[in-house]
Amino acid sequence: MNLKPFIDEIEKQNLKVEGITVLKGNGEEASYRWTPETRRNIYSVSKSFASIAVGMAIDEGKLKLSDRVTRFFKRDEAADLQNARWEALTLRHLLTMNMGNGEFSRPGSVREALSYELVRDPGTCFIYDNTCTFLASAMLTLATGHKLRDYLLERLFRPLGIADPFWKESEDGYTLGATELFLTTSEMAVFGKFLLQRGNWEGKQLVSAAWIDGATRTQVPTRPENKPDYNLGYGYQFWICRHGAFRCDGKDGQYIVVFPAQNAVAAINSDDENAEPILWAVWDHILWQL
4-289 architecture in CATH?
3-Layer(aba) Sandwich (3.40)
Residues 6+ apart with CB under 8 A from 273: 252
Buried b (16+ CB within 10 A) or exposed e, 251-268: ebbbbbbbbbebebbbbb
Quick one: which H or E segment has residue 177? none
pLDDT of residue 82: 58
Report the distance separating Cα 267 and Cα 250, nearest Å. Answer: 11
Nearest CA to 11 out of 3, 2, 23, 21 is that of 3
Listed by start position, the domains of the chain span 4-289
pLDDT of residue 27: 87
Phi/psi region, residue 103 (left: phi>0; alpha: psi -120 to 50; beta: rest), is beta
Report the distance separating Cα 39 and Cα 10, nearest Å. Answer: 21
Distance (Å) of CA 162 to CA 26, 145, 152, 156, 250 = 21, 22, 10, 8, 19
pLDDT of residue 163: 95
Along the 290 residues of the chain, how does pLDDT read in single tens digits?
A: 999 999 999 999 999 999 999 999 888 899 999 999 999 999 999 999 999 999 999 999 999 999 999 999 874 455 556 588 999 999 999 999 999 998 999 999 999 999 899 999 999 999 999 999 999 999 999 999 999 999 999 999 999 999 999 999 999 999 999 999 999 999 999 999 999 999 999 999 999 999 999 999 999 999 777 888 999 999 999 999 999 999 999 999 999 999 999 999 999 999 999 999 999 999 999 999 99
pLDDT of residue 84: 87
Nearest CA to 255 out of 236, 278, 235, 273 is that of 278
pLDDT of residue 25: 87
Q: Indicate the pTM of the whole model.
A: 0.97
pLDDT of residue 77: 56
pLDDT of residue 212: 98
Report the distance separating Cα 140 and Cα 146, nearest Å. Answer: 8
